[in-house]
Amino acid sequence: MHKKTRNSSLLFFFTLIIVVHFSCLLNKTYAATINVSSISALQTAINNANSGDEILLANGTYLNAVITINKNNIAVKAQTPGGVFLNGTQEININGNGNTFSGFQFRSGNIADGEIINIYGNNNTLSELNFNGYHAKKYIHINGGSQYNTITNCNIENKPVDAIIGCLIQITTTPNMPGYHKISYCSFQNFPGPGGDYGNEPIRIGLSTEMNNASRTIVEYCYFENVGLGDGESISLKSCENVCRYNTFTNNPRGEMVFRHGYRNVAYGNFFINNSGGIRIKEGGDHYVYNNYFSTGFTTSVRLQYEVDYPLNNIIFLNNTFIDGSIDLGTSGLSNVTFANNIFQKSSGSIFRNPVGNEMWLGNIASGTLGITVPAGITNTEPKLALNSDGYYGLTATSPAINASSVGYPSILDIANVDDDPALMLDIKGLPRPASALLKDAGCEEYNTSGTIVNRPLKLADVGPAYLKPITTIINPLAENFDFNAAVDNSNHKLNINFTQKLDSPVSLNIFNLNGILLKTIFTTKKSLAGNYTETIDIQSIKFGIYIITLNTNEFSKSKKIIVL
């Protein structure tokens, strides 16, 4: 190519890049952050929003709001997470796609038989929401015909006894469109009431009339504590092909995960501990329960419940560990029930009751009184378990469960387009199992597997909105020489600080918002000698909201959370 021709081609190429670049700039829609301080202004901002916009509602309490999101790909958030209270009669409808609704609290209100949040669109996210003591039939309803919606890091607790009966999260299904929704890292706690199956489930996926619909919803890394008095079903599965995994049920004696209606549902990697109810399978079939840990104490770990109209068929319990709880086999009406490669250990009373007699047993290890005629497929021997650092019983090096799994059990269901584990390649900790079925350990975990543990019994601090969690204290070897208490007197806008330091060091105190932005320095280098100190600080200039107060010395600092009303 001649030099002149080459230069002309390069000039044309760079000119084309410049034209395309400026064309993109002219047509680009820039995302904006829009601050509003009323519900009417919020609705106007939503109606006028462009894709990518973030709308922040100022901290405060708003009554009787009606919010409708018809746009796509926008975020509607509290100015400070947890700083906006939507009380009274609320109605929030999300009709668009790809939207985020985050950071709001619902603490006082009554909408009778209404539903607080309805989702009709796809790919929407509800996050950092707190529902506590609110009167409503339902709190969140993901409607049929929608797909890929997510509820994450929310807290639901204390639905009043006199509220109209209705589940707290309802996922409605349709015959020909799986939802693929996800509920993750949420906390459900402290539901009052008489217990029993009354319809106040924390989570209900489907309805009895939808028992043949494939929902393919995942409930994972959620925490359930003391919800059984509100309803006996902590999770109610009334549709098909749902996965419940890596959840923790603790101090929940009257609540169970219930396979109520539907088919082909899966539960794996869950912890049922501290006298919590376990799993009840009432209707349907082709259900799979594997890699779970049951330490249910005096409650029943598994209940197979025969219903005339919906007989159970093809129920598989595989590689679970059962400590002290009993297994109710259901007496009659069951077929093709398999127990394979499980560990049963019970210190008193019978492990099994109400046998049908047609159960299949493979590779199980049991210690204690079986309560049934010892069948082939159960080895009555000590499994040699030990309490581990995470507070549950795992295998020891001499356990007969190591490399003890039998083959021949039915294949685990592989749900289409869901990242499940049909090859049993992970244990309850999320660590790898051998590929060969013969080399897998019996029970819910593999002994001495390498890698980072990704699942252990959850604590309340692991889930729910960040603004409800205690502030993590910065750890320092000298921390015992320094501590403080912070209390807000909201009647006169005073902050009372009591602190003790055992070392001579300058001290400063600062207030930050939840985004880590310094709002106010209360004092610095005011106290520099060891001793006990009390300070009363005027916080009249601090707006309503949740803040982090940090007390610092030269060597370390400690932080705590305060709420200004």
Query: What CATH number should be reported for the domain holding residue 454?
Result: 2.160.20.10
The 8 Å CB, 24+ separation contacts for 329-332 are 329/304, 329/353, 329/354, 329/355, 329/356, 329/359, 329/372, 330/303, 330/304, 330/305, 330/306, 330/354, 330/356, 331/306, 331/355, 331/356, 332/306, 332/356
Whole-number pLDDT of residue 277: 93
State the chain's mean pLDDT as an integer.
87
User: Do 505 and 440 share a domain, yes or no?
Assistant: no
Q: Specify the pLDDT at position 554.
A: 59
Domains in the chain: how many in total? 2
Residue 550 pLDDT class (50, 70, 90 cuts): confident
322/366 same-domain check: yes
Per residue in 197-239, pLDDT tens?
Answer: 888 999 999 999 999 999 999 999 999 999 999 999 999 999 9
Q: What's residue 532's pLDDT?
A: 73
Query: pLDDT confidence of 559, banded at 50, 70, 90?
Result: confident
pLDDT of residue 478: 40
Query: Phi/psi at 461 (nearest 5 deg)?
Result: -70, -15
- What pLDDT sits at residue 307? 74
Closest CA to 407 of 375, 370, 368, 434: 434
In this prediction, residue 525 has a pLDDT band, given cuts at 50, 70 and 90, of low
The mean-pLDDT minimum among 347-351, 399-403, 480-484, 517-521 falls in 480-484
Interval 54-58 mean pLDDT: 97
Neighbours of 20 (CB within 10 A): 10
Q: Which residue segment(s) compose the domain that 488 sits in?
A: 470-564
Average pLDDT in the 358-375 region?
93
Q: Are residues 509 and 383 in the same domain?
A: no
Do both 489 and 350 map to the same domain? no
Share of the chain above pLDDT 90, in %: 67
Tell me: do 377 and 487 sit in the same domain.
no
CATH number at residue 540: 2.60.40.3080
Angle (CA) 445 288 320, round 5°: 25
> How far is residue 163 CA from its own chain's centroid?
24
Question: What is residue 110's DSSP assignment?
Answer: B
Same domain, 407 and 500: no
Domain stops at, among 461, 482, 510: 461
**Co-location of 454 and 474 in the same domain:** no
Output the six-digit token pair for 250: 């603790």
pLDDT, average across residues 42-47: 98
pLDDT digits (tens, 9 = 90+) for 269-291: 999 999 999 999 988 889 999 99
Q: pLDDT > 70: what percent of the chain? A: 85
Which among 461, 488, 504 is the end of a domain?
A: 461
pTM higher than the cut 0.85: no
pLDDT of residue 203: 98
Residue 261 within any structural domain of the chain: yes
pLDDT of residue 25: 36
